Structure 1
């Protein structure tokens, strides 16, 4: 389907899942993706494009963070950025972690969860607009 789907190496693991370093990115249903731990497929994280919540969404990463996460920084055309969705009891109350997106280097098949250094984005941004049952882009700053 898409060349960027498939297995990625997370050399530093993911927070909360330090033993899981190989994760498979799958398409779930628009606009959602699923990141499945290959070591334990019962562990899966729903993801969305951060632009679905804040558009435009900008990644603020220092050269030191790129080096730690990937060694050589990925080429811009090889970067895919997705954000983890925290599904709540009420789907309408679900939130998206815009502060620490997952960054994929699709060419080298490596990925890392990277903490945004600007402090511009929240840890728990609402996935849905109030009173709306669908995820859709928000205007910048709202």
Structure 2
């Protein structure tokens, strides 16, 4: 198990992630040299980790509409300061690994406030393959 660096900035969720009502404080730990794969790790329970990726390397056209209400909850003044992350479900191979496009995590890079949103009225998949079979 990787050590959790103490100098990483804490990301605080303004509302708990579904299913984890007592976990609000996380750190984002890079798992690869390219900074693509990260672990969103609970400060209070380091065994609780979510694999996350930015959407661009895997889904270049992914551009969900973030509601004004979500931005207000984050205290964001500029939508461009929002970091989008997708929660990854690891499969037995990269081809079997998926990302949740329906419920991205929004992180305000200035305030370090975060929120997982469910994009209602969307047909985005919960399990979008990270790669396509050749």
- For this pair of structures, how many residues does the alignment match? 125
Is the contact between residue 79 and residue 104 of structure 1 (CA under 8 Å) also seen in structure 2? Answer: yes
Is the contact between residue 95 and residue 127 of structure 1 (CA under 8 Å) also seen in structure 2? Answer: yes
Q: Gaps (5+ residues) in structure 2?
A: 1-7
User: Any idea what SS the aligned residue of 1:77 has?
Assistant: helix
Q: After the TM superposition, which parts of structure 1 deviate over 3 Å for at least 4 consecutive aligned residues?
A: none
How far is the alpha carbon of 1:62 from its aligned partner? 2.3
Residue 34 (structure 1) aligned with residue 39 (structure 2): yes
Q: How does 1:96-135 map to 2 (within 5 A)?
A: 96-131=99-134
Q: How does 1:1-142 map to 2 (within 5 A)?
A: 6-29=9-32, 30=34, 31-67=36-72, 69-70=73-74, 72-131=75-134
Q: What value does the CA root-mean-square deviation take over the aligned residues?
A: 1.8
Is the contact between residue 82 and residue 102 of structure 1 (CA under 8 Å) also seen in structure 2? Answer: yes
How far is the alpha carbon of 1:130 from its aligned partner? 1.3
Q: Distance in 2 between matches of 1:124 and 1:35?
A: 19
Aligned equivalent of 1:135:
none
Q: Gaps (5+ residues) in structure 1?
A: 132-142
Q: Distance in 1 between matches of 2:77 and 2:42?
A: 23
How far is the alpha carbon of 1:61 from its aligned partner? 2.3
With over 3 angstroms needed to count, the CA separation of the structure-2 counterparts of 1:97 and 1:74, relative to structure 1, is farther
TM-score (norm: length of structure 2): 0.83
User: Any idea what SS the aligned residue of 1:65 has?
Assistant: helix
